[in-house]
Every structure is written in C-alpha cells, then in structure tokens.
C-alpha cells in the first residue's frame, strides 16, 4: 500500500478491486452516549472496512454524565496484541483516539511496528474548549503529543493543537475564534513536528459557520466550512474522524474526505435534534450510514 501524502487532492489509500481493507481501531468503548468505538465500528464497516478494535478503556457512559465508571485496559493490551501477532493479523490503517494511560502510546507504537505500511490516523482526543478531559493527566497529554508527531493524518481541535505544540490553553481558547493566519501557523507548526497532514477542526468566528483547516507537508492549505448549528453534541469529533477515514479508505482524496466528514456530521446533528433528550444521548448518525456506504459507489 502506498502510504505517502503528496497533496490534499491526492488519494491517501488506493482501494483495489474487491479487497476489504482492515483498520485497527484503538479507542475506548462507551456503553451509553455514542462515541469512540460505538461510532468507529459502524461507520467504517459501512464504508466496507474490516474493523478490528483495540479497546483502550471501557466506560459506562461518556464523562459528561455524573458517576461514570471506567475500566482501564492498559494491562491487557500486550497480551492482546501478542495474540494478534501469533495469528498473523494484518492492517491497512491504524486509527487511534481516546487513550486511558501514557503506556498505551507505547502499545500503539507496537501496532505501528506490526503494520509498518499502514496509514496512521491520530485523533488526539484529550481536550476541548480550553479544558483537558477529566481522565487525562499531564503525562498522558505529553504522550499523546508525542504520538501526534508520527501521524500521517492528525485531526486536533484548537485546544488539542495547543497542547501538542506546548502552547497555553484556557479561556482564550474556549471560543475557538482564530483568523486564517493563526490557523495556518498552527497547521504548519504541527507539520513541522512530524505530522504529514493536519485537519484543524471546529474553528468558530460568530458568523454562523464552523471551519476546518487542512494542510499537508507539501504546503497545500485549504478551508472547508459548514453551517454552525446552535447546540453541541457529544461524539461529533469521533464521528467526524471516522467519516474522514471512511472516505479515505474508500479511495477519496483528503479534500473530498474532509468535505464528506463535515457534511455528514452536520446532517447527523440535524437528525439528532429530532430525538428525545438528544443532547444527552449523543450524535445520531445511524440513519445516515447509507451515505457512508455510498462512498463505495
């Protein structure tokens, strides 16, 4: 598999005939409040991928609910991955998200060593709106920042980009309002640290749009935007990156994948608003999986 990113307008993965690509999905499993593996598995499966989960933790619900329970799977991962090696598991992409401990970054590096030609997609799930998630320690944030440096595709929000770059976060970042020059600077700085392509997500300027900025190592830079809806839903970041990878594994260019992901998340948020208690339940993407499957057409 060719794993080099040459331009926003070039496919990152060449789909071949009837072959079904395999994705190692390194995320947590959340029982209630759709996110992580609960999104990655159906979305990537709809795009004709064989999804092989590597669970980084098991949650009763997402952490916005009071009294959530987490089981850290760090201790089981060495044996889990060793068993994969014994039976000759192969993968075309490694897609990581929420992590439970700094040691899990070492396990992802083990996976990279197992599948050296696989596309490396890192969604550095650790913070948003100027605040770090409650399970993330400074050591885990540092480890995630190191992992980001080796990504083929990195998909941070503004707060996560600042953490990776060692820049301050806080109230100034909560509004996620930066101009094009600052967005370009952040994307370039992330690429300079080793990432091949960056999708900087969720920039808002009070004009009714939500912007994503895309840049690659060869200097290409692009803005893609969607309507900003007047509510927030849990799981939209996971849905965005899963849709992005789904389009990539279907042979789409990075630009096409970014546009597809933004459009589908927007539509899923609209569907979600029609559900009872929708802001608690998380993003409702299920009726739209047909659009993901249509990527194969």
The CATH number of residue 114's host domain is 3.40.1190.20
Digit-coded pLDDT (tens) for 214-231 = 999 999 999 999 999 999
In a domain, 233, yes or no: yes
Residue 245 lies in a domain: yes
Beta bridge partners of 253: 11
pLDDT in tens, 227-271: 999 999 999 999 999 999 999 999 999 999 999 999 999 999 999
* Domain coverage including residue 151: 22-277
- At residue 65, the pLDDT reads 87
- Is residue 181 predicted with pLDDT exceeding 80? yes
pLDDT at residue 172 is higher than 70: no
Across the range 283-295, mean pLDDT stands at: 97
What tens digit of pLDDT does each residue of 49-98 get?
999 999 999 999 988 888 999 999 999 999 999 999 999 999 999 999 99
Residue 106 resides in a domain = yes
DSSP helix/strand/coil, 26 = strand
What is the predicted pLDDT for the residue at 129?
A: 86
In whole numbers, what is the pLDDT of the chain averaged over residues?
93
Residue from 199, 127, 185, 194 nearest 159 by CA: 127
Q: How far is CA 67 from CA 17, 59, 127, 246, in A?
A: 48, 11, 20, 33
Query: Is residue 289, in this structure, part of any structural domain at all?
Result: no
- The total domain count for the chain is 1
Query: Tokens 């546009």 map to which residue?
Result: 259
DSSP line for 201-266 = EEEE-SSSEEEEEEEETTS-EEEEEEEPPSS--TTHHHHHHHHHHHHHHTT-BHHHHHHHHHHHHH
Enter the pTM of the model: 0.95
**Is 11 inside a domain boundary?**
no
Domain membership of residue 32 (yes or no) is: yes
Q: Which pLDDT does position 3 carry in this prediction?
A: 44
The pLDDT score that the predictor gives to residue 174 is 56
In a domain, 293, yes or no: no
Name the CA radius of gyration of the chain, rounded. Answer: 18
Residue 115 domain-assigned? yes
β-strands 50-59, 119-122 pairing:
unpaired
């Amino acid at each position: 598999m060719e794993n080099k990113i040459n331009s926003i307008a070039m496919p990152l993965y060449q789909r071949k005939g009837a072959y079904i690509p395999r994705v190692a999905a390194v995320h947590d499993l959340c029982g209630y409040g759709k996110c992580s593996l609960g999104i990655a598995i159906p979305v990537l499966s709809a795009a004709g991928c064989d999804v092989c989960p590597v669970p980084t933790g098991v949650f009763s619900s997402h952490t916005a609910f009071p009294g959530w329970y987490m089981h850290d799977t760090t201790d089981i991962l060495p044996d889990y991955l060793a068993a994969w090696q014994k039976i000759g598991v192969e993968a075309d992409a490694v897609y990581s998200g929420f992590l439970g401990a700094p040691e899990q970054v070492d396990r992802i590096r083990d996976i990279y060593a197992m599948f050296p030609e696989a596309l490396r997609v890192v969604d550095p799930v650790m913070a948003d709106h100027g605040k770090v998630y409650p399970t993330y320690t400074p050591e885990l944030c540092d480890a995630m920042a190191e992992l980001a440096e080796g990504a083929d595709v990195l998909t941070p929000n503004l707060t996560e980009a600042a953490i990776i770059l060692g820049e301050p976060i806080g109230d100034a970042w909560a509004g996620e309002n930066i101009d094009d020059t600052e967005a370009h600077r952040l994307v370039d700085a992330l690429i300079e640290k080793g990432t091949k392509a960056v999708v900087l997500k969720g920039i808002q300027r009070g004009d009714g749009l939500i912007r994503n900025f895309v840049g690659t190592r060869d200097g290409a830079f692009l803005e893609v935007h969607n309507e900003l809806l007047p509510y927030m839903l849990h799981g939209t970041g996971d849905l965005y990156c899963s849709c992005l990878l789904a389009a990539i594994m279907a042979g789409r260019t990075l630009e096409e994948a970014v546009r597809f992901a933004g459009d589908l998340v927007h539509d899923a948020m609209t569907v979600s608003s029609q559900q009872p208690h929708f802001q608690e339940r998380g993003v409702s993407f299920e009726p739209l999986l047909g659009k993901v499957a249509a990527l194969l057409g």
